[in-house]
Amino acid sequence: MHRKFKPLLFSFLALILFLFTFYNILSYFNFFKKNLTIVNKTLYSNLLPEDNFKSTYTPKLKFVDKPITKIDSISFNILKENNISNVPVILKAQRYYIPLSFICTKLNYTLNKTNGSFSINNTDNTITLTENSYERNSKKGSLRGNVLNYNGTDYISISDIEELFDLIAVFDFKNKKINLLNNKIKTPEESSVIYSDKIALIRFEDFGCGYSNLEDKNQVKVKLMSNLLYSNGIKFHIAWIPRFIVPDANFDNDLLTNDNIVNVGFVNLLDYMINKGGEIGLHGYTHQSGKESSAVGEEMSKNTNSTVSETRAVIEKGIDTASALNIPISFYESPHYRDTEMQKKIISEYFQFVFEPYDNSKKNIYRPNDYNLFVPTPLGYVSDILADTDSIIDKLKKNDPDVLSSFFYHPSIEIDYIKFNTDGNKLNVTYDENSPLQRITKALKEDEYTTIHIDDLLDK
């Protein structure tokens, strides 16, 4: 009996040693190489493209070429100081700029300029600026509007003032006033996607300067939504409609030609979302055709812009608008997913990532060639009418390994759950914890999902 036991014991110990060694090897390769990605427990390292995609298209319009104009009649409230009306204001690419020296003085920072770079300091912060980048207390980033020298004075955009000095810009369109208020929020820890993580993708859908986004209060509420996601370490996407058209209302809002405070507020909102973890992509150019309204109509289908030249024109107009406004874009989504096989192929020449299913049978990421990924949203979306999140939350909890945890959300349905005022020169916010986005955020955290950007899906 004793002799028979020894081989069994040795076999058991050998199995334990093998499993331990295998686990350590697997951990080593995942931890150090960081090139194996698990999407809901399914290994995709053989499906992910390499980071070598290059679009052959060069935008016809560029931010650097946009003109600078002087703006009158804009006043400011800056922290506790109200009705500051003597501030020089300039406009470039739908961004307002004020003198860098002025805002530094108002916020009690010292400013020094040496060889084209700027050093900005107070007792708590050290900021270094170049023309298009910044470093703040070891955090590095790109400026959204760049530093402009106009008639010998250095100007900085409202968007970059928000990011550098922990402020939030609350626009008052009617009175042409901008409130710059404290906006110190929790900074999330940097996260890295490792092999055991469950990942999710969230996208704000049909986002353009029309309908609810024409109101100043609603633009602020979207900023507060971004704060919610940012403070919880949640990355998100914005499917942007660059030009918003409503033919029945004789409304055509082209951000390249309609210079006004509403559009300045909207581009400031896009900048703010980028700085709070948002990644922007094109959702068509106008998301409509003929007498249809943006976000409702089609723009690509077998019957709409169906030729190669028409398809290219739609794509290139969107890219040109983004380039002129200095809005970085990383993906494309055809309106209503109605694009034909030919249109998909054309889109893939311009964008590595296409945020839509390749066809209705694909419930997970799909690589049709060596360079492109089609990324669907099989968890669906929150109903605009019912604002019911149960279906998405249930699917997140189920975590089906064959279904990508990806979904979209129209941010306009969140607006009624957020209230704020600026009494006492403070941003006072009441945000209903039962709102759809609050519930989704809670579910993502409780189920330990790591949210990623679509271009994190690269075999680097």
Whether 31 shows a pLDDT value over 60: the answer reads no
Sign of CA dihedral 33, 35, 40, 42: negative
Helix axes 261-275, 216-231, angle to 10 degrees: 0
- What is the band of 64 on the pLDDT scale with cuts at 50, 70, 90? very high
**Range 269-291 average pLDDT:** 98
Helix axes 390-398, 436-446, angle to 10 degrees: 10
Of 271, 111, 294, nearest to 207 by C-alpha is 294
- What is the band of 192 on the pLDDT scale with cuts at 50, 70, 90? low
**Range 167-187 average pLDDT:** 95
* Count of CB atoms situated within 10 Å of the CB of 369: 9
Let me know: does 402 contact 364? Beta carbons within 8 Å. Answer: yes
Could you give the CA distance from residue 327 to residue 324 in angstroms, rounded to a whole number?
8
- The two beta strands, 81-84 and 139-142, are unpaired
pLDDT tens-digit series, residues 242-254: 999 999 999 999 9
Whether 98 shows a pLDDT value over 80: the answer reads yes
Could you give the CA distance from residue 28 to residue 214 in angstroms, rounded to a whole number?
51
- In the CATH scheme, what is the code of domain 198-456? 3.20.20.370
- What is the band of 33 on the pLDDT scale with cuts at 50, 70, 90? very low
- The two beta strands, 42-43 and 148-150, are unpaired
Let me know: does 90 contact 69? Beta carbons within 8 Å. Answer: yes
pLDDT tens-digit series, residues 412-433: 999 999 999 999 999 999 999 9
- The two beta strands, 406-409 and 198-207, are parallel
Amino acid at 277: G
- In the CATH scheme, what is the code of domain 63-182? 3.30.457.10
* Domain extent listing, the chain: 63-182, 198-456
- The two beta strands, 95-99 and 428-431, are unpaired
Output the pLDDT for position 186.
77
Of 12-16, 24-28, 39-43, 277-281, the range with the lowest mean pLDDT is 24-28
> 3-class secondary structure for the chain?
CHHHHHHHHHHHHHHHHHHHHHHHHHHHHHHHHCCCCEECCEECCCCCCCCCCCCCCCCCCCHHHCCCEEECCCEEEECCEEEECCCCEEEECCEEEEEHHHHHHHCCCEEEEECCEEEEECCCCEEEECCCEEEECCEEEECCCCCEEECCEEEEEHHHHHHHHCEEEEEECCCCEEEEEECCCCCCCCCCCCCCCEEEEEEEEEECCCHHHHCHHHHHHHHHHHHHHHHCCCCEEEEECCEEEEHHHCEEEECCCCCCHHHHHHHHHHHHHHHCCEEEEECCCCCCCCCCCCCCCCCCCCCCCCCHHHHHHHHHHHHHHHHHCCCCCCCECCHHHCCCHHHHHHHHHHCCEECCCCCCCCCCCECCCCCCEECCCCCCECCCCCCCCHHHHHHHHHCCCCCCCEEEECHHHHHHHEEEECHHHCCEEEECCCCHHHHHHHHHHHCCEEECCHHHCCCC
Whether 316 shows a pLDDT value over 80: the answer reads yes
Whether 39 shows a pLDDT value over 60: the answer reads no
Could you give the CA distance from residue 237 to residue 354 in angstroms, rounded to a whole number?
13
Query: Left (φ > 0), alpha (ψ -120 to 50) or beta: where does 89 sit?
Result: beta
Of 364, 391, 388, 361, nearest to 377 by C-alpha is 364
pLDDT tens-digit series, residues 124-158: 999 999 999 999 998 899 999 999 999 999 999 99
Output the pLDDT for position 360.
87
- What is the band of 266 on the pLDDT scale with cuts at 50, 70, 90? very high
- The two beta strands, 177-182 and 139-142, are unpaired
pLDDT tens-digit series, residues 391-400: 999 999 999 9
Tell me if the pTM is above 0.85: yes
Residue with tokens 């002087």: 70
